[in-house]
Amino acid sequence: MRRLRNVKIVATLGPASSDYETIRALFEAGADVFRLNMSHGTHAEQAARHAIIRKIEADTGRPIAILADLQGPKLRVGTFAAGAHDLEEGDAFRFDLDPAEGDGNRVNLPHPEIFAALEPGAALLVNDGKIRLRVERCGEDFADCTVTTGGTISNRKGVNVPDVVLPLAALSEKDRSDLEFACELGVDWLALSFVQRPEDVIEARGLARGRAAILSKIEKPAAVKAFAAILDASDGIMVARGDLGVELPVHSVPPIQKRLVRAARAQAKPVIVATQMLESMIESPMPTRAEVSDVATAIYEGADAVMLSAESAAGNYPVAAVETMDNVAQSVESDPTYREVIESSRKVDRRSVADGIVAAAREIAEATDIHAICCFTHSGTTAALVARERPSVPIIALSPMERTVRRLCLSWGVHCVLTTEIIDRFKMAVVNAARAARVYGFATDKDQIVVTAGVPFNVTGSTNILRVAPCDERLIFRTDPE
């Protein structure tokens, strides 16, 4: 099951991909991480999907990461007596806390937090930005607006407030329940929606209590402004371009995507590019050329992963969508220009011994006939640092921690292997690395590998050894000291 690419593929599960056969087919087609969207489906349905993934993991002997994506607070208008009303440019329209059904002049907006944050001149967007209004006057229970872009407003349509930081927690009561359920289930990553500030991430981390890594979805203008602090507080990042494209001018999203990917790479934290990557494949067996180019752009930028949403969860061609992403990735990564782009975008502030070790491992591997970089890692930090270097040879991460190898499935280029615990003999670490390189087809007994590890073993952040080693165990035992 060796992948012939470095970028990882995240596939969302849903009605179109809930049985063993389909999920197994998605995995074999190239899915490395499965996303459980907590906005849809019951806990029982998500638990069943989780159990199927773990069975596939056991059947194939390859670690698989599971990402639970929390819904976040949903801001919606109330209902209308007529079900819907047409708003035209220049119309006056009021949002208020009155629970009465709406009409052509007003509607309930049951979110006092919005009114507390609004100021005259702020924008209110309804139905994914299809309707836009400007706030003229506002108070603690109302906002009088002018329609700037008209359309049909109807029951419970979503509302976006791009111009202000809302005094809302990123975790609703539903999210708290879903978070605890997902952690008890044993997911590897939690995707946090509606992040506006680093405190949102810190709150989720406290609730997770180390049971899952925290991945922050960047989908609000406030999150873009506070990105450096949010990145510091997070274990990973998702560039959620859907809401970003609603709340920000759509033309500003590509440069934001590029900046966020580079910043996450520099900190050795995995970054996913998501939303509408192969949208047409929900209904078509073939993507558009623009979609293929979009996926390719994210790969050229050095993103750790690209993600499928409805394409694999509810589309008519879920397996074909994964195969398409896999084919695009292999094509891009075989292009000589890809290595040129990756090399030119490598900007790392190296300050630790571990930073120096992994940089040296990459340089040795690229300057000599080395077939893989093998790193022993307890927490996953060493493998993440090697992945940050974006080497031109495969990365094999070996760890005795099942949780670690699963989480690393999201990191660029990392082939994860669950191994026995190494107590005190570096020689055995080298032997295990050589065996893994041979078993998974990365090298033969005539080849060499680079091995990195930390002594003493199983201590987080102790990477301090680099060894160029043969893959022939007889040579290892002949040349290595005890």
Count of beta carbons in the 10 Å neighbourhood of residue 155 = 15
Question: What are the counts of helices (DSSP H) followed by strands (DSSP E) for the chain?
Answer: 18, 21
Bridge-based pairing of strands 65-69 and 106-108 is: unpaired
> What is the phi/psi pair of residue 33, to 5°?
-135, 135
Tell me what percent of the residues of the chain surpass a pLDDT of 70.
97
User: Residue written as tokens 């000291």?
Assistant: 481
User: What band does 458 get if pLDDT is binned at 50, 70 and 90?
Assistant: low
Whether cis (ω within 30° of 0) applies to the bond prior to 285 is no
Q: Is residue 344 part of a domain?
A: no
Amino acid in position 116: A
> What does the alpha-carbon distance between residue 473 and residue 445 come to, in Å, rounded to a whole number?
8
Question: Do 32 and 89 share a structural domain?
Answer: no
Amino acid in position 392: S
Q: Is residue 339 part of a domain?
A: no
Question: Do 33 and 59 share a structural domain?
Answer: yes
Last residue of a domain, one of 299, 334, 369: 334
**Residue 222's domain is classified under what CATH number?**
3.20.20.60
Q: What is the length of the chain?
A: 482
Question: Do 369 and 302 share a structural domain?
Answer: no
Amino acid in position 448: Q
Question: Do 41 and 146 share a structural domain?
Answer: no
Task: Give the dihedral sign, CA 400/401/402/405.
Answer: negative
> What does the alpha-carbon distance between residue 411 and residue 431 come to, in Å, rounded to a whole number?
24
Structural domain tally of the chain? 3
User: What is the token pair recorded at 82?
Assistant: 């007529």
Pick from 371, 419, 309: which is nearest to 63 by CA?
Answer: 419
Instruction: Enter the pTM of the model.
Output: 0.93
Residue scoring higher pLDDT (473 or 145): 145
Bridge-based pairing of strands 131-139 and 236-240 is: unpaired
> What does the alpha-carbon distance between residue 394 and residue 371 come to, in Å, rounded to a whole number?
7
With a CB cutoff of 8 Å and minimum separation 6, the contacts of 193 are: 69, 70, 71, 72, 170, 175, 217, 219, 240
Question: Do 262 and 154 share a structural domain?
Answer: no
Q: Is residue 235 part of a domain?
A: yes
Question: Do 408 and 300 share a structural domain?
Answer: no
Question: Do 196 and 311 share a structural domain?
Answer: yes
pLDDT digits (tens, 9 = 90+) for 158-182: 999 998 888 888 899 999 999 999 9
> What does the alpha-carbon distance between residue 442 and residue 370 come to, in Å, rounded to a whole number?
10
For 251-312, list the strands marked E by DSSP: 271-274, 305-308
> What does the alpha-carbon distance between residue 327 and residue 362 come to, in Å, rounded to a whole number?
26
User: What band does 120 get if pLDDT is binned at 50, 70 and 90?
Assistant: very high
Q: Is residue 341 part of a domain?
A: no
Q: Does the pLDDT at position 387 exceed 80?
A: yes
Residue scoring higher pLDDT (25 or 463): 25
**Residue 431's domain is classified under what CATH number?**
3.40.1380.20
Residue 275 φ/ψ region, left for φ over 0, alpha for ψ in the -120 to 50 degree band, beta for the rest = left
With a CB cutoff of 8 Å and minimum separation 6, the contacts of 478 are: none
The reported pLDDT for the residue numbered 182 is 98
The reported pLDDT for the residue numbered 234 is 98
Burial bucket for residue 121 (CB in 10 Å: 0-12, 13-18, 19+): exposed
Half-sphere exposure of 253 (CA within 13 A, CB side): 21
> Hey, which residues are catalytic here?
35, 76, 217, 275
pLDDT digits (tens, 9 = 90+) for 230-285: 999 999 999 999 889 998 999 999 999 999 999 999 999 999 999 999 999 999 99
User: What band does 295 get if pLDDT is binned at 50, 70 and 90?
Assistant: very high
Q: Does the pLDDT at position 380 exceed 80?
A: yes
> What is the phi/psi pair of residue 371, to 5°?
-100, -15
> What does the alpha-carbon distance between residue 307 and residue 325 come to, in Å, rounded to a whole number?
9
Whether cis (ω within 30° of 0) applies to the bond prior to 456 is yes
Q: CA–CA distance from 442 to each of 13, 29, 415, 428, 436 (Å)?
A: 31, 20, 10, 19, 8
User: Residue written as tokens 């709340």?
Assistant: 247
Amino acid in position 117: A
Last residue of a domain, one of 160, 189, 210: 160
Stretch 424-450: mean pLDDT: 90
Q: Does the pLDDT at position 478 exceed 70?
A: no
Yes or no: say if 452 and 376 are a contact pair by the CB < 8 Å rule: yes
Count of beta carbons in the 10 Å neighbourhood of residue 23 = 23
The reported pLDDT for the residue numbered 479 is 63
Question: Do 397 and 325 share a structural domain?
Answer: no
> What does the alpha-carbon distance between residue 36 and residue 48 come to, in Å, rounded to a whole number?
11
Question: Do 265 and 227 share a structural domain?
Answer: yes
> What does the alpha-carbon distance between residue 178 and residue 187 come to, in Å, rounded to a whole number?
11
Question: Do 28 and 155 share a structural domain?
Answer: no
Domain extent, residue 408, equals 353-479
Q: Does the pLDDT at position 347 exceed 80?
A: no
Burial bucket for residue 176 (CB in 10 Å: 0-12, 13-18, 19+): middle
How big is the chain by its Cα radius of gyration, in Å?
Answer: 24
